DNA sequence: CTGAAAGCGCTTACAG
DNA sequence: CTGAAAGCGCTTACAG
């Protein structure tokens, strides 16, 4: 019967049915068991090609789509992955979000956006993961505390981590540029361009990305016999960058500044100009991120690229593979820091 | 018994249980029916204060949290709302996302990020809504086609729409600035500042935001007896803005330009300077959005504000109210366009 | 490879 | 107000 009359149920219920075809109806129309329908839609399930074909045909005829919530409940595979993000003032996040969501779509994964701005503790996130049967977490947040990351680690929740890249024996899947290498590159570049007193504006204290790049920066410069110093910005905003730069300028004695992010560098750039100093002659500037805005002619910032597209894709692909093979070992994708040459750096001495 | 032994089930299953307490266990510990536990957690359910208190106590003791997936399946209230977004190159979206997700958290709603960039048809979105029992849609996308919006409308899916604001008899909940008023304000401002040949760089043809602002712009200028013209950018990117501006400049005969977005205006600004013309003396510029970047000293763009925080919050709050009262009628929140005065406009004639 | 059955963790008409 | 029961739409050991 084409009208799909289902065995009389005692009462009409609302549920999420939404007037949509259910697995049971497909089973009846195809003349198979419900289990067969389920198997037909589950890759790797034990089912013959013939049976599967029959099911698929009936399903298409009825416009059937498995209800993922029910599948998640029954089988634990909701297809939901939580994107933990903060730093909503940094356009780089938007880019990451764009790439990550596109990659997820390719894997049939659905992104839940977990805004961890402010003091979202790991426990809060963990609760949501439980409440919704979220399968994995994608950490897209540079501002995550060590405590948070350790919490995720211990919880056993699957995850991948952008903004983290320790090539040796990673504790979890991660992808990123190694901050220390970026900092070394910046330091070496300043030296090569003839700057003699480089400084660094690092991110706010307490961030996981603070110590490593600062070390890379000072160590390299020490080795080259150049003076150097590191100050912190109070946040990642351009304003914070401008204030830090103003402070550096007030103390004199610096002619090049590496900023831990492009947002910081953009603020610093404004501060340098406001102080009547010339970029890149008086002051050289290197950012870190290569935001779209950094390429605008008004900004035109020399910076170290952070390959957001590759990193987002790598993390999502890893999560998708992990889903098919839970025994997968953590891996790291380490991108090389790359200098994007624009106008805030003197050219190399010839 | 504190160990919560549950009646012997025939087999161990994995499910999403995750080792977490279930409703049944709470019921047993509290010595009440499962229904009572469910009711205790559902505002407005028929349950005595005494019973509820007893349940809540047991629940807290066990660290119980209702599984939202199961609740969604059984009751149709998943708490999931889909954010339909595109334009991931525009930082304004990130801002909107930030405000919307924060507002949702306040209502216990969870955001699913639906990236509609490219050609995501309404049918695709509808499928996801079904698959996951998404309760409502928040349209945060300026680039949605009329077809898409009509599809949502007809589908009966609940939604709220940012970037839309027709005060009279709204067909659905919407919030935004009326483009036509923004365009009129820009036109009037140019006239007041003594510009004599204003032009407008509108968004790409085909966008829902094209015709209305263009009309507002030209009509106002016609009435004031000033020449005017409208060109389209090929996209919303700064590059597209720069190309449109270059085109305008090449033809001469314009001394002020209203851009349909700040991203466009930022590109236009670069093009004006690249052509060796002075802003705001030779060419006045007004953008639309008031992005964070527009306030950077290097940009310092005069623009018409789009109150993203209020708009995002309004939409989310509406969705939350609609959830509690499905009979709620659609409403519109119309924000007044407001000129943010910066350096790309001559000052008023004295 | 298949099907019947139990179960995932909740909700809600129904009958007190 | 309460509880027993049926149901939401799927999955997966179990026993062929």
The answer to whether A69 contacts B111, with C-beta atoms less than 8 Å apart, is no
Protein-to-nucleotide distance from the CA of B106 to the C1' of D7, whole angstroms: 31
CA nearest neighbour of B172 among B329, B317, B321 = B329
The answer to whether A128 contacts B117, with C-beta atoms less than 8 Å apart, is no
CA nearest neighbour of A175 among A346, A41, A315 = A315
pLDDT digits (tens, 9 = 90+) for B3-44: 333 333 334 443 343 458 999 999 999 999 999 999 999 988
N- to C-terminal Cα distance for chain B? 84
The answer to whether B115 contacts A132, with C-beta atoms less than 8 Å apart, is no
pLDDT of residue B142: 80
Q: Are B259 and B272 in contact (CB under 8 A)?
A: no
pLDDT category at A169 given cuts 50, 70, 90 is low
- Residue A15 pLDDT greater than 50, yes or no: no
- Residue B1 pLDDT greater than 70, yes or no: no
Name the residue of chain A whose CA is nearest to B81's CA.
Answer: A112
Strands of the sheet containing A198-202, edge to edge, are A229-232, A198-202, A256-259, A284-289, A303-305, A338-340
pLDDT category at A296 given cuts 50, 70, 90 is very high
- Residue A12 pLDDT greater than 70, yes or no: no
pLDDT digits (tens, 9 = 90+) for B273-291: 999 999 999 999 999 999 9
pLDDT category at A167 given cuts 50, 70, 90 is low
Mean pLDDT, chain A, integer: 89
pLDDT of residue B153: 87
Looking at chain B, the whole-number percentage of residues with pLDDT higher than 70 is 91
Q: Say which residues have a Cβ less than 8 Å from residue B164's Cβ, sequence separation at least 6.
A: B139, B149, B174, B175, B176, B208
B269 contact residues in A (CB cutoff 8 A): 298
The answer to whether A76 contacts B128, with C-beta atoms less than 8 Å apart, is no
Strands of the sheet containing B256-259, edge to edge, are B229-232, B198-202, B256-259, B284-289, B303-305, B338-340
Place of tokens 């990020």: B113
- Residue A76 pLDDT greater than 60, yes or no: yes
**B74: Cα within 13 Å, side-chain hemisphere:** 10
pLDDT of residue A142: 80
Q: Are B238 and B229 in contact (CB under 8 A)?
A: no
Q: Nearest CB to A72: which of B69, B74, B267?
A: B69
pLDDT category at A318 given cuts 50, 70, 90 is very high
Mean pLDDT value of segment A316-334 = 90
- Domains of chain B as residue ranges with CATH: 23-66 (1.10.260.40), 76-177+307-337 (3.40.50.2300), 179-305 (3.40.50.2300)
Q: Are B138 and B159 in contact (CB under 8 A)?
A: yes
Helix (H, G, I), strand (E, B) or coil at A201: strand
- Residue A16 pLDDT greater than 80, yes or no: no
Length of chain A in terms of residues written: 350
Q: Say which residues have a Cβ less than 8 Å from residue B310's Cβ, sequence separation at least 6.
A: B175, B333, B335
Task: Tell which strand D nucleotides have any atom below 7 Å from a protein Cβ.
Answer: 1-14
pLDDT of residue A350: 54
Q: How far apart are CA B217 and CA B280, in angstroms?
A: 20
Q: Nearest CB to B91: which of A91, A105, A117?
A: A91
pLDDT of residue A324: 86
Helix (H, G, I), strand (E, B) or coil at A235: coil
Q: Which of B115, B134, B276 to mutate to test the interface with A (most CBs of A within 10 A)?
A: B115
N- to C-terminal Cα distance for chain A? 84
Neighbours of A196 (CB within 10 A): 12
Is residue A145 within a helix (H) or strand (E), and if so which, with residue range?
A: none
CA nearest neighbour of A335 among A191, A204, A215, A165 = A165
Place of tokens 């009389």: A8
pLDDT of residue B247: 97
| CA of A150 vs chain B CAs: smallest distance (Å) | 19
pLDDT digits (tens, 9 = 90+) for A128-157: 999 999 999 999 988 788 888 888 988 889
Protein-to-nucleotide distance from the CA of A193 to the C1' of C11, whole angstroms: 70
**Strands A284-289 and A332-335, sheet pairing:** unpaired
Q: How far apart are CA B98 and CA B77, in angstroms?
A: 24
- Residue B170 pLDDT greater than 90, yes or no: no
pLDDT of residue A96: 97
Tell me chain A's radius of gyration from C-alpha atoms.
26
| CA of A118 vs chain B CAs: smallest distance (Å) | 10
Helix (H, G, I), strand (E, B) or coil at B199: strand
Mean pLDDT value of segment A171-180 = 86
The tokens for A244 are 């830090």
pLDDT digits (tens, 9 = 90+) for B324-340: 888 888 888 999 999 99
Question: Can you give the three-state secondary structure of A299-315, one letter per residue?
Answer: CCCCEEECCHHHHHHHH
The answer to whether A68 contacts B93, with C-beta atoms less than 8 Å apart, is no
- Residue A212 pLDDT greater than 60, yes or no: yes
The answer to whether B131 contacts A14, with C-beta atoms less than 8 Å apart, is no
Beta bridge partners, B198, equal B256
Q: Which of A87, A94, A236 to mutate to test the interface with B (most CBs of B within 10 A)?
A: A94
Mean pLDDT value of segment A232-260 = 95
The tokens for A10 are 């005692």
Q: Are B268 and B277 in contact (CB under 8 A)?
A: no
**Burial class, B347, CB count within 10 angstroms (exposed 0-12 / middle 13-18 / buried 19+):** exposed
pLDDT of residue B213: 87
Mean pLDDT, chain B, integer: 89
pLDDT digits (tens, 9 = 90+) for A272-291: 999 999 999 999 999 999 99
Is residue A216 within a helix (H) or strand (E), and if so which, with residue range?
A: helix A211-223
Q: Which of B85, B95, B110, B316 to mutate to test the interface with A (most CBs of A within 10 A)?
A: B110
Q: Nearest CB to A69: which of B65, B89, B133?
A: B133
Task: Tell which strand C nucleotides have any atom below 7 Å from a protein Cβ.
Answer: 1-14
The answer to whether A133 contacts B69, with C-beta atoms less than 8 Å apart, is yes
Looking at chain A, the whole-number percentage of residues with pLDDT higher than 90 is 74
**Strands A198-202 and B303-305, sheet pairing:** unpaired
Nearest nucleotide to A33 (CA to C1') is C3
Q: Are B55 and B28 in contact (CB under 8 A)?
A: no
Q: Say which residues have a Cβ less than 8 Å from residue B180's Cβ, sequence separation at least 6.
A: B212, B213, B215, B216
A19 contact residues in B (CB cutoff 8 A): none
Place of tokens 């003032």: A89
Q: Are A204 and A233 in contact (CB under 8 A)?
A: yes
Mean pLDDT value of segment B292-306 = 97
pLDDT of residue A328: 87
Mean pLDDT value of segment B239-254 = 95
Rounded to 10 degrees, the C-alpha dihedral A31/A33/A34/A38 comes to -100
Q: Are A265 and A146 in contact (CB under 8 A)?
A: no
pLDDT of residue A8: 34
């Amino acid at each position: 019967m084409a009208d799909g009359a289902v065995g009389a149920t005692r009462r009409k219920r609302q549920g999420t049915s939404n007037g949509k075809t259910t697995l049971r109806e497909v089973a009846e129309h195809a003349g198979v068991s419900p289990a067969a329908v389920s198997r037909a839609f589950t890759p790797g399930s034990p089912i013959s090609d013939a049976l599967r074909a029959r099911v698929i045909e009936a399903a298409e005829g009825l416009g059937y789509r498995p209800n993922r919530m029910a599948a998640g409940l029954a089988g634990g595979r909701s297809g939901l992955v939580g994107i933990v993000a903060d730093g909503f003032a940094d356009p780089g996040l938007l880019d990451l979000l764009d790439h990550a969501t596109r990659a997820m779509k390719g894997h049939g994964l659905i992104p839940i956006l977990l805004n961890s701005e402010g003091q979202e503790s790991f426990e809060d996130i963990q609760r949501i993961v439980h409440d919704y049967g979220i399968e994995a977490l994608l950490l897209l947040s540079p501002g995550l505390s060590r405590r948070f990351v350790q919490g995720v680690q211990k919880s056993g929740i699957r995850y991948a981590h952008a903004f983290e890249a320790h090539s040796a024996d990673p504790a979890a899947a991660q992808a990123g540029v190694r901050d220390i290498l970026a900092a070394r590159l910046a330091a070496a570049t300043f030296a090569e361009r003839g700057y003699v007193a480089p400084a660094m504006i690092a991110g706010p204290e307490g961030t996981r990305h603070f110590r490593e790049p600062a070390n890379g920066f000072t160590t390299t410069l020490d080795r080259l016999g150049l003076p150097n110093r590191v100050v912190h910005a109070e946040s990642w905003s351009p304003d914070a960058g401008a204030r830090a730069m103003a402070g550096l300028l007030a103390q004199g004695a610096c002619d090049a500044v590496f900023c831990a992010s492009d947002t910081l560098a953009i603020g610093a750039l404004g501060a340098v100009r406001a102080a009547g100093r010339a970029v890149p002659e008086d002051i050289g500037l290197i950012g870190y991120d290569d935001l779209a805005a950094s390429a605008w002619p008004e900004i035109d910032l020399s910076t170290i690229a952070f390959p957001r597209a590759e990193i987002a894709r790598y993390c999502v692909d890893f999560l998708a593979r992990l889903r098919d093979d839970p025994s997968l070992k953590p891996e790291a994708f380490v991108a090389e820091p790359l200098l994007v040459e624009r106008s805030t750096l003197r050219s190399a001495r010839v």
